């Protein structure tokens, strides 16, 4: 390997930011690190419940990427990826072509509204920065009726955000004395509430939903919405006033002809290294929501995967250092409303036995502190995500 590698990272959210910083710390300045994004900013979507129900402004949770990387030795280029030419080690962007020695894809998931008819027109988004203010307005003006929150059929491995919004809405309606005017429902195509959490998490959530009188519908596949009805795969329909939805996930269009993806457009990777299984020249990696491997799509896992990919790349380039084992763990702080949160940690995904569940103001404050530190540290969080709450 030459003394001056060029490493291109595409995507500048949780996965891209951490990969870039970890590599910058591990490699000398002879090695170029370029980060590309299709947007000049990145928004911390985990804070959306606070944008909707509190006074948090979108700009408070948005990082200006050019400013973020100024003087860091990491070059930032705002220019969307259009395709990957694996054979020539080149990415094609809207503005040009860039050669790489190593490529890291941290491009997240696309919200495939087209896979679920009516989801763009009739549902409120809980995950799209361009639509979250519309969701806020609808929820703050809601005074009664049937609210459904959940995930659409056809692969949406991110069940938590609609749950949080329902918990916050439940709290708000109780404070306003309107709770008896509303029926709140949670629906999912999965058989459990947050399956990756394991049995103790499932039990705690079932209890919480019962206490809050939020009806749970498991194993239901939402396949279509019109302006008044939700249509499920088994032919059932439900009338609704508001639907809070995460649409099906797919990989980004730019990876379609790359030869790197599975049928849904995600990139299968080796869990030991995060190197793409279909990388013909063995030099393409993928991390975060962009990967095809089983498991939930969570920011926490995106950060762990970024740590593994950066360590493996640095070891390949310098012959030094070690690569941590990838042991996916479930970690989530769910807003409960009223400044309280529910912290759930479990090693169920990696056959570990540690489970921690804690509710109250501390988990909520800790999540806010983590997000503030992510911005203050310009995304250079080291292992902070592993220590949050613990």
Ligand X SMILES: Cc1cc2nc3c(=O)[nH]c(=O)nc-3n(C[C@H](O)[C@H](O)[C@H](O)COP(=O)(O)OP(=O)(O)OC[C@H]3O[C@@H](n4cnc5c(N)ncnc54)[C@H](O)[C@@H]3O)c2cc1C
Shortest separation between residue 333's beta carbon and ligand X, angstroms? 6
Per CB under 6 A, which of residues 114..143 are in contact with ligand X? 126-127
Report the 10 Å Cβ neighbour count for 361. 12
Using CB under 6 A as the binding rule, whether residue 36 contacts ligand X is answered as yes
Burial, 91: exposed, middle or buried (Cβ in 10 Å; 0-12, 13-18, 19+)? buried
Start-to-end CA span in the chain (Å): 40
Identify which of residues 216 and 389 has a Cβ nearer to ligand X in the complex: 389
Q: What is the largest CA-CA distance in the chain?
A: 68
What is the pairing mode between strands 222-225 and 229-232? antiparallel
**Minimum Å distance from CB 338 to ligand X?**
18
Q: Which sign, positive or negative, has the C-alpha torsion 288, 290, 291, 295?
A: positive
Candidates 361, 313, 315, 340; CA nearest to 168 is 340
If one asks whether residue 111 binds ligand X (CB under 6 A), the answer comes out as no
DSSP-based three-state secondary structure for 349: helix
Q: How far is the CB of 269 from ligand X (least distance, A)?
A: 12
Q: How far apart are CA 359 and CA 171, in angstroms?
A: 15
222: its two tokens: 């939402």
Number of DSSP helices (H) and strands (E) in the chain, helices first = 10, 23
Query: Of 193-201, 208-216, 265-273, 283-291, which segment contacts ligand X by CB under 6 A?
Result: 283-291
Q: Show the DSSP H helices in the chain as ranges.
A: 14-26, 48-53, 65-69, 119-122, 132-140, 160-175, 199-211, 299-318, 361-376, 384-387
- Please tell me whether residue 13 binds ligand X under the rule CB under 6 A: yes
How many other C-beta atoms lie within 10 A of the C-beta of residue 181? Answer: 12
Of 33-41, 183-191, 201-209, 369-377, the segment contacting ligand X by CB under 6 A is 33-41
Tell me: does residue 289 bind ligand X (CB under 6 A).
yes
Q: Which of 27, 81, 116, 274 binds ligand X (CB under 6 A)?
A: 81
Cα 118 from Cα 127, distance rounded (Å): 16
Tell me how many residues contact ligand X (CB under 6 A): 38
**Would you say 65 or 232 has its CB closer to ligand X?**
65
- CB of residue 299 to ligand X, shortest distance in Å: 3
Applying CB under 6 A, the span of 133-141, 202-210, 213-221, 284-292 interacting with ligand X comes to 284-292
Site string for ligand X, 312-351 (x = CB under 6 A): --------------------xx------------------
- Tell me whether residue 205 or residue 232 sits nearer to ligand X (CB atom): 205
DSSP reduced 3-state for 348: helix
| Interactions with ligand X, residue window 191-250 (CB under 6 A) | none
Q: Which of 9, 27, 103, 106 binds ligand X (CB under 6 A)?
A: 106
Binding segment (CB under 6 A) for ligand X, from list 11-19, 53-61, 140-148, 197-205: 11-19
Select the span of 39-47, 171-179, 231-239, 315-323 touching ligand X (CB under 6 A): 39-47
Looking at the Cβ atoms of 23 and 290, the one nearer to ligand X is 290
Report d(CA 43, CA 1) in Å as an integer.
36
> Is the distance from CB of 146 to CB of 238 less than 8 angstroms?
yes
Residues 20, 77, 158, 284: which binds ligand X (CB under 6 A)? 158
Find the shortest distance in angstroms from Cβ 215 to ligand X.
22
The only residue of 298, 311, 314, 336 in contact with ligand X, by rule CB under 6 A: 298
Give me the residues that bind ligand X (CB under 6 A), please. Answer: 10-16, 36-39, 42, 45-46, 48, 80-81, 106-109, 126-127, 158, 160-161, 252, 254, 288-290, 297-300, 302, 332-333
């Amino acid at each position: 390997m030459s003394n001056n590698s060029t490493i291109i990272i595409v995507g500048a959210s949780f996965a891209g930011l951490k990969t870039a910083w970890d590599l910058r710390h591990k490699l000398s300045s002879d090695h170029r690190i370029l980060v590309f994004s299709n947007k000049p900013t990145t928004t911390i979507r985990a804070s959306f419940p606070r944008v909707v129900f509190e006074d948090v402004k979108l700009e408070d949770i948005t990082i200006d990427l050019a400013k973020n990387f100024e003087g860091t030795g990491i070059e930032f280029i705002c220019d969307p990826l259009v395709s990957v030419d694996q054979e020539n080690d080149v990415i094609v962007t809207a503005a040009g072509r860039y050669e790489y020695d190593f490529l890291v894809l941290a491009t997240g998931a696309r919200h495939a509204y087209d896979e679920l008819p009516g989801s763009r027109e009739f549902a409120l988004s809980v995950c799209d920065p361009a639509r979250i203010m519309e969701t806020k307005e609808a929820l703050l003006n809601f005074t009664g009726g049937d609210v459904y929150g959940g995930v659409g059929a056809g692969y949406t491995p991110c069940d938590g955000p609609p749950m949080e919004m329902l918990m916050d809405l439940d709290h708000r309606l109780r404070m306003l004395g309107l709770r008896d005017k509303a029926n709140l429902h949670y629906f999912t195509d999965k058989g459990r509430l947050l399956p990756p959490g394991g049995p103790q998490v499932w039990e705690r959530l079932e209890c919480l939903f019962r206490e809050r009188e939020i009806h749970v519908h498991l194993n239901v596949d939402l396949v279509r919405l019109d302006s008044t009805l939700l249509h499920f795969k088994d032919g059932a329909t439900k009338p609704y006033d508001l639907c809070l939805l995460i649409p099906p996930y797919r990989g980004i269009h730019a990876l379609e002809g790359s030869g790197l993806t599975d049928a849904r457009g995600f990139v299968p990777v080796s869990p030991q290294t995060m190197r793409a299984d279909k990388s013909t020249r063995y030099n393409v990696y993928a991390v975060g929501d962009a990967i095809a491997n089983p498991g939930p799509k969570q920011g926490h896992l995106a950060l762990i995967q970024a740590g593994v990919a950066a360590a493996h790349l640095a070891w390949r380039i310098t012959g030094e250092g070690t690569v941590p084992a990838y042991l996916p763990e479930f970690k989530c702080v769910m807003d409960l409303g009223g400044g309280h949160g529910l912290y759930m940690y479990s090693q169920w995904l990696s056959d570990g036995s540690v489970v921690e569940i804690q509710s109250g103001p501390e988990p909520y404050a800790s999540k806010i502190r983590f997000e503030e530190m992510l911005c203050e540290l310009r995304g250079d969080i080291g292992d902070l995500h592993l220590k949050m709450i613990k």
